[in-house]
Structure 1
């Protein structure tokens, strides 16, 4: 078997995959450093909980929106923000690995807009299913859907 001497050391990824992964990585770096007290001072310890509260998808808020017929933008944005907030470093690492692996496969076949459509479409459908099928006060977070 012959190896390619010009092969890149890391498999090249489509730019759209990096566009999805870098916010996850950046968010986790900031939250992890804050939790350890390395940035942000004493208040940074609660940044992860604040991010979950501000960007996680809430089934109870979704139920309220359906009942009241009001769909405020600051709540609707949660359909696409919750995949970027994770419960821990390990949670984020697994999501990054999945996005890189699946994103490489999908990104090499589909155009960039289609990859974004698949990612955010799955996030929206996941949030809808979570909001409609479950009755839990726990917010939906993470990139698994």
Structure 2
């Protein structure tokens, strides 16, 4: 006699393994820098590895200008659009970014698939780099760190909350509490570290994450079909 066992209930939302892999990669990169800075690997010269990696893998405005002027699209010009996400200014910079991405990733993994999370990570990262390239000043510090993705996840979570509140026929204003957190966190960061050009990348990541949620949600295909149908009827 076959017995159907009830599924084990858990009070926690699942977290996409993709989010874990991405965060583990960030941690692994930082651990290499920490080992180098404490002279555990690489010898005395290794102390400058972080700065060198920022130079090679961080996103510079000069890279964006090079592309705009029709420069050659070499790998070293292309990879900074995403590689900057895995390089951080310090251990604490990485730790905060990783913890925040894990927390927000857990919140959005309940509705969005692993593939959708990958798309969010990549597109929010690209959008942040483009905004930085467009609006930052010449000769400034390169864009590094995964914060544009974190803010992208905030945008996606805001969309989820709006979706849930509308389904319950409630006011959508509470959904914007995450946006408020963005303003508070960015303001505090600016007071602590000074105003930098990074905020443009963060804001763009947030907007991108919110807009992408419309098409990456489980009913995204139906929503796109509805938009296409409405356009054709005009």
TM-score w.r.t. length of structure 2: 0.56
Number of residue pairs matched by the alignment: 139
Kept in 2: contact 1:84–1:142 (CA 8 A): yes
Distance 2:62 2:47 in 1: 26
Structure number with greater CO (CA < 8 Å, separation at least 6) is 1
Distance 1:111 1:11 in 2: 13
Kept in 2: contact 1:34–1:47 (CA 8 A): yes
Task: Report 1:10-89 matches (<5 A).
Answer: 13-89=15-91
Runs (4 or more) in structure 1 with deviation over 6 Å come to none
TM-score w.r.t. length of structure 1: 0.88
Q: 1:122 aligns with which of 124, 135, 139?
A: 124
More displaced 10-residue stretch of structure 1: 112-121 or 11-20: 11-20
* Distance change (3 Å), C-alpha of 1:7 and 1:110: closer
Q: Give the C-alpha shift of residue 40 in structure 1.
A: 1.6
Gaps of 5+ in 2: 1-7, 149-234
Gaps of 5+ in 1: 1-5
Q: Which protein is bigger by CA-based radius of gyration?
A: 2
Q: 1:106 aligns with which of 105, 108, 111?
A: 108
Q: Give the C-alpha shift of residue 11 in structure 1.
A: 7.7
Hey, what does 1:3 align to over in structure 2?
none
Q: Give the C-alpha shift of residue 71 in structure 1.
A: 2.1
Q: Calculate the aligned-residue CA RMSD, in Å.
A: 1.9
